[in-house]
Chain A
Amino acid sequence: MLEFFHAKKPLFPPVGFLCSLLALGVGMAYSSHLVLYGYIAALALLFALFGLWRAVLGAGLMMGCFGLLTGVLSCLTAGSFASFFETLGRCLLLGVAAVPMLSLPAADMTRSLRQMKCPGALTLGILVTIRFIPVLVGEVRQIREAMKTRGAGSAWRRPQTIYRAFFIPLTMRILGISDALSLSLETRGFRLKNKDASVFRPVRFGWRDGVFAVGTGILSVLLGVLA
């Protein structure tokens, strides 16, 4: 599933990760200003120029729809249109800012952390997190299908059945998968204190990554100035 967010030429992982954090942090700090929309549009353009246009469209659309819904709710509860625009803006920001992070292949991420001699616990945590998102999505899809085969797919008059038929298998699968994954990592030699793990295909910082980082930085500064 995360392959959808990948570019043909991936970013240097720390750059992608830090730019995502920067965009999110700065954006949230100025989320009550309308200039945020300009910031989001400029970020989307920058990311698209670096091969992430599909991811930007997908994430933007998804979070945009979510933002519309939550924005309406926020407007109704707060009683002001400003609340709608702020909520929508934050949701769009979350979607677009996450794109550089989501675009990082798990292998590149792990290798760059190893090259930087990061603690094994951090590498493990990020590896499992990256792995788990598509796994979770796949499992939810599978369970929803299985619910249909047991007649619990649309038993709206029996919410307890739907609840059980979804959450019990999901919980068991998550537990089973996390067990299997941790066993597999250990039996394949992964050790938390192993800072000398080699790197099959080293990940290197290039001029593209520098341009990307500087671009994100300039846009963030501009937001601060204009807001």
Chain B
Amino acid sequence: MKKAVEVRDLSFSYPGETRKILDHADFTLEYGEFAVLSGISGEGKTTLLGLLNGVIPFLTPGKREGKIFLAGEDCTDRKAGERAFFAGTVLQNADEQIVYEKAADEAAFGCENLNLPPEEIEGRVDASLKLLRIAPDSSTRTLSGGQKQRLITAATLAMGQRILFLDEPLANLDRAGALLLLQTLKDLTKQGCAVLLIEHRLDLVLPFADSVYRLRQGKIERVANVPALLAENRRLLPASQAQTGGGSPLVELAHIRYAPGKTPLLRDISLSVREGERVWLLGENGCGTTTLLRLMARLIRPDGGAYRQSLLPEKGRRPSARWFRAAGYVYQNPSYQLFMPTVRDELAVAAPEDAYAVRMAELFGLSELLDRHPHALSEGQKRRLGIAAVLAGQPRLVFLDEPTVGQDAENLKRIGSALQTLRQETGMATVTVTHDIRCAAALCDRALLLADGVIAAQGKAHQAENYLSGQPLNQ
């Protein structure tokens, strides 16, 4: 019987590099198999995906040798557009891929490219959008990050290929959204499709996977001891001493209301963040956690209610530059906040002195990269630099928007360890938005669940872990 994917003796290196990402690697994926590809950032997982779907070497150049078969056909010399007839690909960063204004049009785009009859497209689009719970007439502009990710996935599923490649599709998805997608993929494999998934959130993925692979020294190896891998991945960051309360409040919100459109997103929010406390905002995609974070950081203004802060005496409603020194904000995408010519200069922007900038580099594992250009770093390194650059200003309060997206175990450990060290040294408080269970112990004293525009429940770190495992927060 034909295999879904077959790779024979595949080698690849990027232009100008001697290191081979893949070195005479072999790999097969059977129909009906749900395979997960895991490993540390920079190993070559996305490169392998690019080789399979035809992006490499036709759009991204490199030196490639070996053969690639999809659905039994030799696709080695076929470009991505031609391979799309055999295999669908879901990429990261859904926001950058959406081309149309309506969800139904976006979902139909791929089907049109495959020359499917219009009447068939209608049925496929309705089915895939219903499966991933996106209303067909929703405006793509107003979807949340997680909803956009589901839309892009639905658009690929609508194309109906029997081989699917997904590159970190669970990023930005809450637990419910992630399980919905994973169950959908599992059902597809039971119907005979083949799925290859790159993902770091193994706690969610492994229960659905039939096989797990890793890239090691240019070879694609099957992981024998999956339970050990899951245990290693589940709690990466040791718990640190919890803040038991008593610190003075830094920020207080009372009956805050915010309505970007006709329907209020935040209806009645009351909370406070105290000195040294670590607050975790939880909630489903689209419920307003990032909006609440931005509101607390004074990047947006509420439509009603009272906001008080004791970090700085400030005149006027607009936050000053001094405010953002006292209350740092770290974006999910570090590219927005990095602009200096070297890592050293980036850290020095906010650091009180050069020695502190160097110390921050050590804490975040960036010491060997001080003279590199920030935008030449890997994604994991950039994220660490983005956080370090903000924390170099010694803020008393830090807002972190999804700091763990796309982070492998090693990077996550570094980030968590650095945050814990700084908290012990400076008493810094943090407010974090993330769906990542791996961080619960290290980033949480108090978890707040946002639902229907209000704080629906509160809990401690272990309760947050339970919530992310599917139980109610205050259980």
Contact = CB atoms under 8 A, between A and B. Distances in A.
A200 B108 contact: yes
A127 interface: yes
B226 to A, nearest CB: 29
A187 B84 contact: yes
A42 interface: no
A182 interface: yes
A188 interface: yes
Nearest to A144: B336
A159 B321 CA distance: 15
Interface string A145-167: 11011111111000000001110
Contacts of A153: 321
Contacts of B138: none
A168 interface: yes
B340 interface: yes
Given A107-B100, A169-B338, A202-B118, A189 B324 contact: no
Interface stretch (B64-72, B109-117, B228-236): B109-117
A90 B171 CA distance: 48
A189 B329 contact: no
A168 to B, nearest CB: 4
B240 to A, nearest CB: 26
Contacts of B162: none
B111 A200 contact: yes
Contacts of B116: 198
Contacts of B177: none
Interface string B302-326: 0000000000000000010100110
Interface in A168-195: 168-169, 172-173, 176-177, 180-191, 194
B350 interface: yes
Q: Which of B99, B110, B393 has the most CB of A within 10 A?
A: B99
Contacts, number: 159
A107 B101 contact: yes
A3 B142 CA distance: 11
Contacts of B122: 200
B323 to A, nearest CB: 9
Given A114-B112, A181-B99, A176 B335 contact: yes
Nearest to A192: B81
Nearest to A139: B336
A105 interface: yes
Q: Which of A149, A180, A199 has the most CB of B within 10 A?
A: A149
B284 to A, nearest CB: 23
Interface in B112-145: 112-118, 121-122, 125, 139, 141
B81 A150 contact: no
Interface in B72-89: 79-82, 84-85, 88-89
A148 B324 contact: yes
Contacts of A107: 100-102, 105
Interface string A80-115: 000000000000000000000000011100010010
Contact of A188 (B121, B156, B321): B156
A166 B121 CA distance: 42
Contacts of A148: 299, 319, 321, 324
A106 to B, nearest CB: 5
Nearest to B389: A150
Nearest to B79: A186
Contacts of B359: none
Contacts of A117: none
Interface of A is mostly: helix
Given A196-B115, A200-B108, A189 B84 contact: yes
A78 interface: no
A8 interface: no
A45 interface: no
Interface residues of A, number: 54
A180 B93 contact: yes
A190 B113 contact: yes
A197 interface: yes
Nearest to A155: B321
B81 A189 contact: yes
A199 B120 CA distance: 11
Given A169-B335, A188-B113, A189-B114, A149 B84 contact: no
Q: Which of A111, A142, A168, A198 has the most CB of B within 10 A?
A: A198
Given A107-B101, A189-B159, A198-B121, A182 B59 contact: yes
A188 B159 CA distance: 8
B121 A186 contact: no
B91 interface: yes
Given A107-B102, A153-B321, A202-B118, A187 B111 contact: no
B112 A142 contact: no
A143 interface: yes
A131 interface: yes
B228 to A, nearest CB: 34
B113 A151 contact: no
Given A172-B375, A188-B109, A199-B112, A151 B81 contact: no
A150 B112 contact: no
A153 B328 CA distance: 14
Contacts of B337: 146, 149-150, 169
Interface in B325-349: 325, 328-329, 331, 335-340, 349
Contacts of A194: 81, 113, 115
Contacts of A180: 91, 93, 96-97
A150 B101 contact: no
B53 interface: yes
Given A107-B105, A200-B121, 12 more contacts: A131-B99, A150-B349, A150-B350, A151-B321, A151-B325, A172-B335, A180-B91, A187-B53, A188-B155, A188-B159, A194-B115, A200-B122
> 4 tightest CB-CB pairs across the interface, nearest first?
A189-B113, A184-B97, A189-B84, A180-B96
Interface of B: 53-55, 59, 79-82, 84-85, 88-89, 91, 93, 96-97, 99-102, 105, 108-118, 121-122, 125, 139, 141, 152, 155-156, 159, 297, 299, 319, 321, 324-325, 328-329, 331, 335-340, 349-350, 375, 389-390, 393
13 contacts: A107-B101, A148-B321, A149-B328, A149-B329, A151-B349, A151-B350, A165-B339, A169-B337, A183-B80, A186-B84, A189-B110, A190-B81, A200-B122
